Amino acid sequence: DADVTQTPRNRITKTGKRIMLECSQTKGHDRMYWYRQDPGLGLRLIYYSFDVKDINKGEISDGYSVSRQAQAKFSLSLESAIPNQTALYFCATQGTSTDTQYFGPGTRLTVL
């Protein structure tokens, strides 16, 4: 089984809809991250969490919110989706004793 899982893997939605992307991990890591990837722009950080009670904004947090339900679960919400939020979304985890981030398989989101 994969250490970092993301659901759904693909999602097509309409402008204005609320969307939640979920991430679960079995690595026992405290730190979790949400990134988006756009062609030509690389990976950009949306939000990150160092533990259940610690949530921080990344460089592109506008239009997004997150919830850290447990050490193993970190969800990303788009309150009112817009077409320019069409992208690949990746969750990543990191242990406190390592600098390495491990990525999930990604969610391809299309907003029409």
Partner 1 sequence: EDQVTQSPEALRLQEGESSSLNCSYTVSGLRGLFWYRQDPGKGPEFLFTLYSAGEEKEKERLKATLTKKESFLHITAPKPEDSATYLCAAFTQGGSEKLVFGKGTKLTVNP
Interacting residue ranges for partner 1, rule: CB under 8 A? 4, 40-45, 48, 56, 58, 90, 99-106, 108
Q: Which is nearer to partner 1, 59 or 62 (CB)?
A: 59
Query: Could you tell me how many helices (H) and strands (E) the chain has, helices first?
Result: 0, 11
CB of 30 to partner 1, least distance (A): 13
Cβ(5)–Cβ(69) under 8 Å? Answer: no
Cβ(29)–Cβ(101) under 8 Å? Answer: no
Token pair 């970092």 in the structure block, residue:
4
Q: Which is nearer to partner 1, 15 or 39 (CB)?
A: 39
Token pair 């979304």 in the structure block, residue:
89
Q: Which is nearer to partner 1, 50 or 63 (CB)?
A: 50
CB of 92 to partner 1, least distance (A): 8
Cβ(11)–Cβ(108) under 8 Å? Answer: yes
CB of 81 to partner 1, least distance (A): 21
